[in-house]
Amino acid sequence: MHSDTVAREVRRRRTFAIISHPDAGKSTMTEALALHARMISEAGAVHGKAGRKATVSDWMEMEKARGISVSSTALQFNYTASQSPTTPADDPDHPHVVNLVDTPGHADFSEDTYRVLTAVDAAVMLIDAAKGLEPQTLKLFQVCRHRGIPVITVVNKWDRPGRTPLELIDEISERIGLTPTPLFVPVGIAGDFRGLLDRRTGEYVRFSRTAGGAKIAPEEILDADAAAAREGDEWASALEESELLSEMGQDHDQEMFLAGQTSPMIFTSAMLNFGVRQLLEALVELAPAPAGRLDVDDNLRDVTEPFSAVVFKVQAGMDASHRDRLAYMRIVSGEFERGMVVTHAQTGKPFATKYAQAVFGRDRSTVDTAYPGDVVGLVNAMALAPGDTLFDAPRVQFPPIPSFAPEHFATLRANSAGKYKQFRKAMDQLDSEGVVQVLRNDTRGDASPVLAAVGPMQFEVVTARMKSEFGVDTTIEPLGYSLARRTDEGSRAELDRQRGVEVFTRTDGAILALFSDKWRLAYVEKELPDLTLEPLVATA
Ligand code: G4P
């Protein structure tokens, strides 16, 4: 293994996720990116109801229909930047390698959605031009902020009526304290998307539509005079907005971006493929390359050191006929070669990587070599759990992935008392895998633990696996709590006396108080201000 090779591979890699609310256009944008990277020749998302072709995102649906539960997927593609003088990878022999790691959303929203964000170096926050910031985007953004992940903001659906750029910019600054620094401002209001004013060059990028948005939209680059002649008032107002932003200091600043304080912003129509190239260019030019990671002792494992990786998701087949179990790892350092025998830090046992796959939707291909920033699926990884470390000597162990704030709570019990032993065993297994958080207290005992989840799908996974893998029929019943706060032993007794509040110990030792609703929490906070009650974005 040559560390020069690794260093070069690292420099050209970018690993990111798209964070968004359902319907903002994540699947359409994924396809548009694949189209621009020339992975597919035509976007199927022509949104024609009839005769619609299978699209990249539909593959995931098919995967689900085949019963392999929800895919965590990473789409890897090469991209040769067209105007990226600052990056070393703009020759066609060494294009950039972009890893887009999927964040399961919609009905599949779960703790895994958050865990995916521990595997990326940057996020694209995709928002709908008409809707602005929406709840799921906000939750995912909080995790990015907590982990210090830099965020590029994309205002999508600019081809449809929506808000003004300044309204959207204000909303983002005011609600989440992130300052957008648009790289481009749109020419034409939302609903009349003509092109983009490139704020760094002062040029106009004019787009033309293709039939149904199936192909890359042709671009024409005009200088300011030609743009003014062509677009008149629309150009003038774009220019005015750009100047106003500069006066307010909202120009891109790489350090502030990397520090998570500002966010380069782009306006797109994923459906028409407008602005998608600009997004790719921003990613390869501005988003950070993979970096080393601190281990549990705070020592840095540099990217060029021997192989190490962190497991960020484990997926077990929910269908009994699919007993395969995929562990997804993000490579932190060194070169990965399929077949190498690495060490599982948590058990000290060897792990053979004979079956290594890249998974995207229905596409599974064998991975022979991979580098820091890449995501590799390991088949039949029975011993691996999220947060685990794999390494090639010298030994390293990375800190565990934190648990994220649960919002759904339920009790679980075995339908037949005779199955109690298997039930306990299964519960311990699913708990250690991080399928759900398990909460206990003395009042309730062990026969019906309380399960806590980020998304209700996690409960379905528990009951399905209880049955298929352990032969235990279970009943799950929702509990009347909707939010959790971290507390301590000192506050426990007082909290337990409150109506609508119950205190539990989680398996990792954290003490959590559950509240029926936010009003109950507000009441307790007001009446008993001395109690410890901390929000739980992530509890590392
Ligand atoms: P998601 O993965 O974030 O949930 O969103 P998805 O890409 O599925 O897009 C949600 C809807 O928004 C789709 O319409 C899609 O066509 C539309 N859409 C996405 N990007 C754009 C855009 O840039 N402009 C416009 N005008 N629409 C966009 P749908 O009606 O739900 O689906 P379909 O029936 O059109 O396939």
Taking alpha carbons only, the member of 320, 318, 323 closest to residue 64 is: 318
The rounded Å distance from CA 288 to ligand 1 centre is 29
* Cβ atoms of residues 509 and 457 within 8 Å: no
* 71: in domain: no
Q: What's the confidence (pLDDT) of residue 39?
A: 65
Is the domain of 414 the same as that of 379?
Answer: no
Question: Which residue, of 254, 289, 324, is where some domain finishes?
Answer: 289
CA 318 – ligand 1 centroid, Å: 29
- Tell me, yes or no, whether 223 lies in a domain: yes
Determine the distance separating the centroid of ligand 1 and the alpha carbon of 149, expressed in angstroms: 26
Query: For 493, what's the count of Cα atoms within 13 Å in the CB-facing half-sphere?
Result: 1
Of 401, 402, 386, 395, the C-alpha closest to 301 is 395
Ordered per-residue pLDDT tens for the chain, 540 residues: 578 899 999 999 999 999 999 999 998 998 899 888 876 655 553 333 333 344 444 434 434 443 333 344 788 888 887 754 444 444 556 789 999 998 887 777 888 889 999 999 999 999 999 999 999 999 999 999 999 999 999 999 999 999 999 999 999 999 999 999 999 999 999 999 999 999 999 999 999 988 877 788 889 999 999 999 999 999 999 999 999 999 999 999 999 999 999 999 999 999 999 999 999 999 999 999 999 999 999 999 999 999 999 999 888 764 455 556 788 999 999 999 988 999 999 999 999 988 777 766 556 677 889 999 999 988 878 889 999 999 999 999 999 998 889 999 999 999 998 999 999 999 998 998 889 999 999 999 888 899 999 998 899 889 988 998 899 999 999 999 999 999 999 999 999 999 999 999 999 999 999 999 999 999 999 999 999 999 987 554
- The number of folded domains in the chain is 3
> Which 3-state string (H, E, C) describes 105-169?
CHHHCCHHHHHHHHHCCEEEEEEECCCECCHHHHHHHHHHHHHCCCEEEEEECCCCCCCCHHHHH
* Claim to verify: residue 111 and residue 232 sit in the same structural domain: yes
Q: Is residue 92 assigned to a domain?
A: no
How many other CB atoms are there within 10 angstroms of residue 86's CB atom? 11
> Tokens in use for 102?
């999927």
Ligand 1 pocket member 279 (CB < 6 A): no
226 and 364 housed in the same domain: no
Domain contains 314: yes
Place of tokens 């497991």: 311
CA dist 323 and 306 (Å) reads 32
Let me know: does 80 contact 90? Beta carbons within 8 Å: yes
Write the ipTM.
0.97
pLDDT at 92: 57
Output the CA 191–ligand 1 centroid distance in Å.
15
Boundary-marking domain end, from 289, 310, 328: 289
Please check whether residues 380 and 441 belong to one and the same domain. no
315 C-alpha to center of ligand 1: Å?
A: 28
In whole angstroms, what is the distance from residue 155 CA to residue 132 CA? 8
Q: Which residues are annotated as a binding site?
A: 102-106
Atom of ligand 1 nearest to the CA of 20: 3
DSSP3 helix / strand / coil % (the chain, rounded to 5): 30, 30, 40
State residue 64's pLDDT score: 43
Residue 477, beta-bridge partner list = 411
528, exposed or middle or buried, with CB in 10 Å at 0-12, 13-18, 19+?
A: middle
d(CA 181, CA 255): 12
User: Distance between alpha carbon 501 and the CA centroid of its chain, in Å?
Assistant: 32
Taking the centre of ligand 1 as the mean of its atom positions, its distance from the CA of residue 453, in whole angstroms, is 28
In this structure, the residue with its CA closest to atom 30 of ligand 1 is 47
Residue count of the chain: 540
Binding site membership of 20 for ligand 1 (Cβ less than 6 Å) = yes
The residue whose CB lies within 8 Å of the most ligand 1 atoms, and thus the one to mutate among 28, 75, 276, is 28
159 lines ligand 1 (CB under 6 A): yes
Ligand 1 and 24: CB distance under 6 A: yes
Residue 46 located in a structural domain: no
Ligand 1 atom showing the smallest separation from residue 49 Cα: 34
- Same-domain pairing of 269 and 123: yes
191 in Cβ contact with 201 (< 8 Å): no
Query: Do 110 and 134 share a structural domain?
Result: yes
Q: What is the pLDDT of residue 517?
A: 95
Give the span between the Cα atoms of 490 and 392, in whole angstroms: 44
**Structure confidence at residue 74 (pLDDT):** 83
Instruction: Give me the domain span that covers residue 139.
Output: 16-41+99-289
Inter-residue contact 453 to 406 (CB < 8 Å): yes
Please report which helix (H) or strand (E) contains residue 29, including its range: helix 26-36
Tell how far CA 241 is from the center of its chain.
Answer: 31
Q: Does residue 344 sit in the same domain as residue 273? A: no
Core vs surface per residue 87-102: b (16+ CB within 10 A) or e = bebbeeeebbbbbbbb
Q: Are residues 443 and 340 in the same domain?
A: no
| Same domain (yes/no): 300, 222 | no
Check if 275 has its Cβ closer than 6 Å to any atom of ligand 1.
no
CA nearest to 191, candidates 238, 240, 234, 157? 157
Q: What is the pLDDT of residue 95?
A: 87
